[in-house]
Structure 1
Amino acid sequence: MRAVQLGAYDKSPELTEVPDPTVTGPLDVIVRIGGAGVCRTDLHIIEGQWAEKSGVTLPYTLGHENAGWVQETGSAVTHVSPGDKVILHPMATCGLCMACRAGDDVHCTDSVFPGINADGGFADLLKTNARAVVKLDDSLEPADVAALADAGLTAYHAVRKASRRLRPGHRVVVIGAGGLGHIGVQALAALTAAEIIVVDRSEGALALAAEIGADHTVPADGTQVAAVQELTGGEGAEVVIDFVGEGGAIEDGVAMLRRAGDYHVIGYGGELRVPTIDVISTEINFIGNLVGSYTDLVELMALAARGEVTLHTTAYPLTDHARALTDLDRGEVRGRAILIP
Structure 2
Amino acid sequence: MKAVRLHAYHRRPVVEEVPEPRATGPFDVVVKIGGAGVCRTDLHIIEEQWAEKSGVTLPYTIGHENAGWVHEVGSAVSSVEVGDTVILHPTPTCGLCRACRAGDDMHCSDGTFPGITTDGGMAEYLLTSARACIKLDPETRPEDVAALADAGITAYHAVRKAVPLLPPGTVCVVNGAGGLGHIGIQSLRALTATTVVVIDRNPEALDLAAMLGADHTVLADGKHVEAVLDLTGGDGAEVVLDFVAEQGAQQDTFAMTRRAGSQFVIGYGGKLEIPAIDLISTERNVIGNLVGTYNDLAELMVLAQTGRVTLHTRKYPLDAALDALADLGHGRVRGRAILTP
What are the within-5 Å matches in structure 2 for residues 32-47 of structure 1? 32-47=32-47
* Other-structure match for 1:65: 65
Structure 1 range deviating more: 7-16 or 327-336: 7-16
Helix, strand or coil: the match of 2:225? Answer: helix
Contact 2:265 2:287 in 1 (8 A): yes
Q: Which letter does structure 2 place at the counterpart of 1:297?
A: L
- TM-score (normalised: structure 1): 0.99
1:195-217 deviation digits (Å, cap 9, x = unpaired): 00001110010000000010000
Helix, strand or coil: the match of 1:164? Answer: helix
Structure 1 range deviating more: 246-255 or 210-219: 246-255
Return the offset for 1:12: 1.1
* Other-structure match for 2:143: 143
Inter-partner Cα distance in structure 2 for 1:235 and 1:278:
15
* Other-structure match for 1:180: 180
Return the offset for 1:260: 0.3
Q: Which letter does structure 2 place at the counterpart of 1:99?
A: A
* Other-structure match for 1:315: 315
Contact 2:4 2:13 in 1 (8 A): yes
Contact 1:9 1:48 in 2 (8 A): yes
Q: Which letter does structure 2 place at the counterpart of 1:243?
A: F
* Other-structure match for 2:286: 286
1:218-256 deviation digits (Å, cap 9, x = unpaired): 011111111111111111111010000011212211111
What are the within-5 Å matches in structure 2 for residues 199-210 of structure 1? 199-210=199-210
Inter-partner Cα distance in structure 2 for 1:82 and 1:235:
55
Inter-partner Cα distance in structure 1 for 2:213 and 2:147:
20
Structure 2 portions without partners, runs of 5+: none
* Other-structure match for 2:4: 4
1:249-268 deviation digits (Å, cap 9, x = unpaired): 12211111111001100011
Inter-partner Cα distance in structure 1 for 2:314 and 2:95:
35
Inter-partner Cα distance in structure 2 for 1:278 and 1:204:
35
Contact 2:243 2:265 in 1 (8 A): yes
Helix, strand or coil: the match of 2:165? Answer: coil
* Other-structure match for 2:18: 18
Return the offset for 1:150: 0.4
* Other-structure match for 1:48: 48
Contact 2:67 2:86 in 1 (8 A): yes
Inter-partner Cα distance in structure 1 for 2:182 and 2:53:
28
1:192 aligns with 2:192: yes
Summarize the Cα distance change of 1:203–1:57 in structure 2 as closer, same or farther, 3 Å threshold: same
* Other-structure match for 2:152: 152
What are the within-5 Å matches in structure 2 for residues 264-283 of structure 1? 264-283=264-283
The 4+ residue runs of structure 1 with deviation greater than 6 A are none
* Other-structure match for 2:250: 250
Return the offset for 1:138: 3.7
Return the offset for 1:139: 4.6
Return the offset for 1:303: 0.4
Helix, strand or coil: the match of 2:301? Answer: helix
Inter-partner Cα distance in structure 2 for 1:251 and 1:139:
44
Output the aligned Cα RMSD.
Answer: 0.8
Q: Which letter does structure 2 place at the counterpart of 1:206?
A: L
Contact 1:265 1:286 in 2 (8 A): yes
Contact 1:139 1:305 in 2 (8 A): no
Inter-partner Cα distance in structure 1 for 2:74 and 2:249:
46
Inter-partner Cα distance in structure 1 for 2:68 and 2:6:
22
Percent of residue pairs identical: 67
Helix, strand or coil: the match of 1:327? Answer: helix
What are the within-5 Å matches in structure 2 for residues 57-96 of structure 1? 57-96=57-96
- TM-score (normalised: structure 2): 0.99
Return the offset for 1:75: 1.7
What are the within-5 Å matches in structure 2 for residues 321-332 of structure 1? 321-332=321-332
Structure 1 range deviating more: 246-255 or 103-112: 246-255
Return the offset for 1:15: 1.1
Helix, strand or coil: the match of 1:24? Answer: coil
* Other-structure match for 1:338: 338
Return the offset for 1:171: 0.4
Inter-partner Cα distance in structure 2 for 1:332 and 1:183:
18
Inter-partner Cα distance in structure 2 for 1:202 and 1:48:
27
Inter-partner Cα distance in structure 1 for 2:207 and 2:246:
22
* Other-structure match for 1:100: 100
Inter-partner Cα distance in structure 1 for 2:256 and 2:296:
28
Inter-partner Cα distance in structure 2 for 1:87 and 1:16:
25
Inter-partner Cα distance in structure 1 for 2:247 and 2:8:
28
Return the offset for 1:137: 2.4
Inter-partner Cα distance in structure 1 for 2:73 and 2:251:
49
Return the offset for 1:140: 2.3
